[in-house]
Amino acid sequence: MKKKYILSTTAAVVLVIVAASVAFKACAAGGVAARVNGEIITVDEIRKAYEANPQIKEQVPFDEFYTKAVDVFVNGKLLYQAAHEAKVEELPVYKEQIKAASEDLARKVYLENIVVEKVNDAAVKDFYENQYVKGFTTKKEAKAKHILVDDEATAKSIIQKLSKGEKFDKLAEEYSKDQADLGWFTEDIMVPEFSEAVFAMKKGTYSEKPVKTQFGWHVIYAEDFRDSKPLPLKDIEPQIRNLMSQKYIAETFDSLADKAQIEKYDLKGKKLPEAKPAE
């Protein structure tokens, strides 16, 4: 269903094409996909549009995307040729939007270059080792399952069945209105009543009484406990890169503002007082 929906959604594909037309110039690599009044659209252009959109790439193979995209690229080229013939580029509104788009692109590339320079592999590794790992605080983690039901009576009947030897997973499949396996978690992740019950249990036991929370009544099975450890770099690298990028972008704005002469005015043209630096 998702494939058909994406391919039939013209607006989504048009956005792909618009983005690609700004980012990439036509080139002969990859073969010719179409000729529109003598102008070439290459397979490489379409492939680059495909590669630039991970969400579409995950759900649609390139061959399938290509079949639909060729027509959209052709329509885009026809529309551009018509606009060029109508001398749209000479209109004031076009020039205004080009100026705005040019400024946006310059800002984007400027910040991207800063991030590429600052957030390199060596810097990420240094952050991981000297800030994340050294600053890591060990917490106790539990690995648990639960059976969530709407009323206490049902929860008590499940506990009785467990006491007679019935399997927890089988009962969870039959009764639970939530997924049974909760994986590993620390005490602060769950609601207080649930965490209090789990972390008071012993490994390999189930709750002898139902546990009530805002979600309903729980029968809990404590599979295991351990002390938390730092995640490996490969698992946390995206978060580190994002955190570092935000840091350097913020520092860039602060540095530029410190060096600049900035005057602000209200709607009546009155100069606003300069903001006092935070103490």
Q: Give the CATH number of the domain where residue 165 resides.
A: 3.10.50.40
Whether residue 145 sits in one domain with residue 81: no
In 3D space, the residue among 98, 102, 44 whose CA is nearest the CA of residue 73 turns out to be 44
Residue 81 token pair: 């040729």
Neighbours of 182 (CB within 10 A): 19
Phi, psi of 216 (to 5 degrees): 140, -150
Whether residue 144 sits in one domain with residue 82: no
Amino acid 27: pLDDT: 41
Q: What is the pLDDT of residues 17-58, one digit of tens each?
A: 444 443 344 344 459 999 999 999 999 999 999 999 989 999
pTM above 0.85, yes or no: no
Whether residue 223 sits in one domain with residue 144: yes
Does residue 71 fall inside a structural domain? yes
Question: Which is more confident, 108 or 13?
Answer: 108
Q: What is the pLDDT of residues 267-277, one digit of tens each?
A: 999 999 987 66
Whether residue 77 sits in one domain with residue 153: no
Adjacent-strand bridge partners of 183: 144
pLDDT above 90 coverage of the chain, percent = 87
Does residue 258 fall inside a structural domain? no
Does residue 91 fall inside a structural domain? no
Spatial distance between the Cα atoms of 7 and 5, rounded to a whole number of angstroms:
6
Spatial distance between the Cα atoms of 262 and 240, rounded to a whole number of angstroms:
33
Does residue 167 fall inside a structural domain? yes
Residue 165: domain span: 140-227
Question: How many independent structural domains does the chain possess?
Answer: 2
Does residue 237 fall inside a structural domain? no
Domain boundary among 227, 242, 264: 227
Rounded to the nearest integer, the mean pLDDT of the chain is 89
Q: What is the pLDDT of residues 120-166, one digit of tens each?
A: 999 999 999 999 999 999 999 999 999 999 999 999 999 999 999 99
Amino acid 30: pLDDT: 55
Spatial distance between the Cα atoms of 205 and 224, rounded to a whole number of angstroms:
9
Does residue 277 fall inside a structural domain? no
- Phi/psi class of residue 183: alpha, beta or left (left: φ > 0; alpha: ψ in -120 to 50)? left
Does residue 23 fall inside a structural domain? yes
List the single range of 20-29, 206-215, 231-240 with lowest mean pLDDT.
20-29
In 3D space, the residue among 93, 129, 99, 83 whose CA is nearest the CA of residue 240 turns out to be 129
CA angle 275, 250, 264 (to 5 degrees): 30
Residue 245 token pair: 């990028």
Does residue 70 fall inside a structural domain? yes
Neighbours of 33 (CB within 10 A): 19
